[in-house]
Each structure stands twice: as structure tokens, then as C-alpha cells.
């Protein structure tokens, strides 16, 4: 038992930043719940809140890794926007001519094309940044402008609809309550299985696994969160499909960042580029890889965006890159590189969505929403600096 407590204390100290930001989020929720007389915490709002954060969250996931390598990507907002208008263009004007009435096929093609466009654009930018050594800030600023132009060319200033029912499911669909519960069950089983697998591996190598009590507590806590979440959203329409996609992507990318050489090298490059280089890490190749992943995320984000709003417009993706950067920074990613987690970025993104949603419910004018969000961002980062200094 004492072992358990020491372990918990250690974990708290080690991840104090993560806990602090989760705490901040809970405080925000409680505050808005009071201010809106409970409407904020209602099933409908919670459901919408999580849905609203999805598009920037995809970008934030990619941005964490980009920033961990010590780079930045200012083009991703417009890239998602560009992807969304390309997809809308295909949906509205192209499939109709070549493969009419094949909704499943056209939806699959739209998704693939969207992801490909995002990835190819970042392949290009990644090449310029990592192999030609042009600073990422400049390349991606140029990229942002070019994409903005691209959006204008494709839309010709008009709104392009992208609202075929099947395509709309990607961002607007819900799992029926029963399937939602099945999904939750599968996730929980997977967690139990991977925990047991992890313990077995440790024992195989002759290490002492964590006390069973801790593992059980951890599993129960996570399972409880999932069950509560599903119960809440089932009260409204069910588990949101885009949120499910985001969760799966986040888990995969989180795995990539911690359990693969690609991720490990990214952190090493951001932590000390020279040391990584002299350790035989191919800096150019690895930075390039990270930008390609960013492109993949931007592609997914753009497809979800098109499906979410149901059309492609000239303003698509405007300013999303900054929301994504703010999310990562709120989530503890260092602007200097070497530090940051995907989980943190998701929480950061959720905080921003929570603020926006709360302020909207309280009918705060848009102008003041910006002012307040700006203040929260800066204060939150100061709190982080302060915590680090006085740990």
C-alpha cells in the first residue's frame, strides 16, 4: 500500500503540469456550469463541445511533433481549408460527371484525395525545410499565402457544397447508443489486454511490474471516464463519429511519439540537434518525416472540416493554425522544442473549445471572446513557467 502511495506521489510530481492543466479544465467547466445554470454541463453541450474541438485537435496532434523538433508550421490552417475546398469541389462538381450515384465510392475517394493533398503539400514543405534548410517559419508562411491563393482559385469566391449524406457522416454522424457501448467495451478490453501484456513483458525481462493495485486503479479510473462520457453523449445523439476518429488518431500518434524511433528522434532533435546529429540521427530525414505526418493530420482535418460545415468556402481554415499552436502550448509543448505530448495538446484544444463554447452560451460578444481567450492563453503559460520555477 505504501508503495502505491509513493508511486502516486512520484507520478504527480513528474506530471504536475499535465494534472495542472486538467485541473484548469475542470475549473473552467465548473465555472461555466454555474454561470449558465447547468446548461453548460448538459448532454447536448458536452456533445457539441467535443465535436467542435475535433478539427483543430487533428492539427494540434501534428503540430506537437513539429514543435517538438523545434520547428513550426503556419500553413496548416489554410492547408486544412485548401483540402476542404478541394474535397468540396470533387463532391460538388466532379464525381457527379464521372461516377454518379456511387455514394460510398465517392466518399472514400474524397477522403483519400483530401488526405493525399494534405500529405503531398507537406512533403513539399518538409523537403524545403529539412533538405534545403529554409527556416520552417518562412516556408510555412509562404505556404499559407500560396494556399490562400489556391483556395480563392478553386472557390472563385463562391461557396461549394459538400453535403452528400454519407460524406456528412464523417463529421456529423453518431454511433447508435448500443454500438457506442460496444465501442466503449472494446476500448476497455483493449486497455486491460495491453496492461496485462505489458506486465507479462516486464516479467519476461526480469523486471518487477508495478503493484497490481495501481494498475487496477488506473484501469478503473480510465474505464470510468469512458463509461461516463459514453453515458453522457448517449443521452444526446450518441458517440460522435469525428470524436471517435480523433481518439483513435490520438492514440496512434501518441504511440508513434513515445514508442517508435521516429518519435524518439523527434524529441532528441528538438532537445539538442547537435547531439542527435552526432549520435547518427539523420536530422533531415526525421524532420521530413514529421512534416509528412503533419500533412497527414492536415489532410484528415481538412476532410473533417468539409464534412463538418458541409461546404468549402473562401474563409475555410482561417486562423486554425494559431488555434492549433495555442492548444499545443497550453498542453505543455515547449516553443523551443524537445518537450510536448499529444495528450497535452488534446487537453489544450479541449480547453480552448470549452472557453469558446462557454463564452458563446453566455452571449459574450465575439470581440470580448477574443480578448478573454488571449488573456487565458498568456496567463496559462505564465502559470506553467511559474510552476516549473517553483517546483
* Residue 258 C-beta: closest distance to another protein, Å: 8
Q: Does 207 bind another protein (CB under 8 A)?
A: yes
User: Which range touches another protein (CB under 8 A), out of 104-112, 199-207, 233-241, 361-369?
Assistant: 199-207
Q: Does 188 bind another protein (CB under 8 A)?
A: no
Q: Does 339 bind another protein (CB under 8 A)?
A: yes
Q: Which is nearer to another protein, 296 or 324 (CB)?
A: 296
Helix pair angle (76-89, 320-330), 10° resolution: 130
- What DSSP assignment string belongs to 106-156? HHHHHHHHHHHHHHHHHHHHHHHHHTS---HHHHHHHHHHHHHHHHHHHHT
Q: Does 365 bind another protein (CB under 8 A)?
A: no
d(CA 207, CA 203): 5
In total, the chain counts a number of residues equal to 391
User: Which range touches another protein (CB under 8 A), out of 48-56, 66-74, 214-222, 267-275?
Assistant: 267-275
Q: Which is nearer to another protein, 99 or 248 (CB)?
A: 248
Q: Does 274 bind another protein (CB under 8 A)?
A: yes
Instruction: Enumerate long-range contacts of 373-378, CB under 8 Å, 24 or more apart.
Output: 376/351, 377/326, 377/329, 377/330
| Eight-class DSSP state of 337 | S
Q: Considering only residues 156, 206, 208, 390, which one is a binding residue for another protein as defined by CB under 8 A?
A: 206
Nearest to 305 by CA among 351, 355, 242, 349: 242
User: Which range touches another protein (CB under 8 A), out of 32-40, 43-51, 168-176, 259-267?
Assistant: 259-267
Q: Which residues pair with 160 in a beta bridge?
A: 312
d(CA 244, CA 184): 10
* Residue 24 C-beta: closest distance to another protein, Å: 24
d(CA 199, CA 196): 5
- Half-sphere exposure at residue 116, Cβ-oriented, CA atoms within 13 angstroms: 8
Q: Does 282 bind another protein (CB under 8 A)?
A: yes
Q: Which is nearer to another protein, 157 or 280 (CB)?
A: 280
Q: Which is nearer to another protein, 39 or 388 (CB)?
A: 388
Q: Does 197 bind another protein (CB under 8 A)?
A: no
Q: Which residues bind to another protein, rule: CB under 8 A?
A: 201-202, 204-207, 259-262, 264-265, 267-268, 271-272, 274-282, 338-339
Amino acid at each position: 500500500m505504501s508503495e502505491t502511495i509513493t508511486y502516486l506521489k512520484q507520478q504527480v510530481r513528474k506530471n504536475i503540469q499535465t494534472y495542472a492543466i486538467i485541473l484548469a479544465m475542470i475549473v473552467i467547466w465548473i465555472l461555466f456550469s454555474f454561470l449558465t445554470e447547468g446548461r453548460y454541463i448538459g448532454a447536448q453541450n458536452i456533445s457539441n463541445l467535443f465535436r467542435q474541438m475535433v478539427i483543430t485537435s487533428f492539427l494540434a496532434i501534428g503540430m506537437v511533433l513539429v514543435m517538438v523538433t523545434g520547428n513550426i508550421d503556419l500553413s496548416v490552417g489554410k492547408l486544412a481549408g485548401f483540402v476542404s475546398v478541394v474535397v468540396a469541389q470533387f463532391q460538388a462538381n466532379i464525381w457527379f460527371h464521372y461516377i454518379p450515384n456511387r455514394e460510398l465510392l465517392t466518399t472514400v475517394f474524397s477522403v483519400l484525395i483530401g488526405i493525399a493533398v494534405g500529405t503531398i503539400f507537406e512533403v513539399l514543405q518538409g523537403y524545403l525545410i529539412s533538405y534545403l534548410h529554409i527556416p520552417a517559419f518562412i516556408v510555412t508562411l509562404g505556404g499559407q499565402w500560396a494556399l490562400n491563393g489556391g483556395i480563392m482559385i478553386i472557390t472563385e469566391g463562391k461557396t461549394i457544397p459538400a453535403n452528400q449524406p454519407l460524406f456528412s457522416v464523417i463529421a456529423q454522424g453518431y454511433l447508435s447508443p448500443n454500438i457506442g457501448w460496444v465501442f466503449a467495451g472494446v476500448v476497455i478490453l483493449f486497455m486491460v489486454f495491453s496492461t496485462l501484456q505489458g506486465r507479462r513483458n516486464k516479467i519476461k525481462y526480469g523486471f518487477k511490474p508495478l503493484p497490481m493495485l495501481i494498475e487496477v486503479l488506473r484501469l478503473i479510473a480510465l474505464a470510468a471516464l469512458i463509461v461516463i462520457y459514453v453515458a453522457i453523449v448517449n443521452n444526446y445523439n450518441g458517440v460522435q463519429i469525428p470524436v471517435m476518429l480523433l481518439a483513435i488518431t490520438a492514440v496512434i500518434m501518441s504511440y508513434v511519439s513515445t514508442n517508435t524511433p521516429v518519435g524518439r528522434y523527434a524529441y532528441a532533435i528538438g532537445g539538442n540537434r547537435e547531439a542527435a546529429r552526432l549520435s547518427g540521427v539523420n536530422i533531415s530525414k526525421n524532420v521530413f518525416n514529421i512534416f509528412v505526418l503533419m500533412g497527414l493530420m492536415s489532410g484528415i482535418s481538412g476532410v473533417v472540416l468539409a464534412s463538418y460545415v458541409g461546404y468549402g468556402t473562401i474563409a475555410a481554415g482561417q486562423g486554425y493554425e494559431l488555434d492549433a499552436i495555442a492548444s499545443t502550448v497550453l498542453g505543455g509543448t515547449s516553443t523551443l522544442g524537445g518537450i510536448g505530448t499529444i495528450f497535452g495538446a488534446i487537453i489544450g484544444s479541449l480547453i480552448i473549445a470549452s472557453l469558446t463554447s462557454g463564452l458563446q452560451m453566455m452571449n459574450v460578444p465575439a470581440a470580448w471572446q477574443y480578448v478573454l481567450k488571449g488573456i487565458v492563453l498568456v496567463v496559462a503559460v505564465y502559470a506553467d513557467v511559474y510552476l516549473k520555477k517553483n517546483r
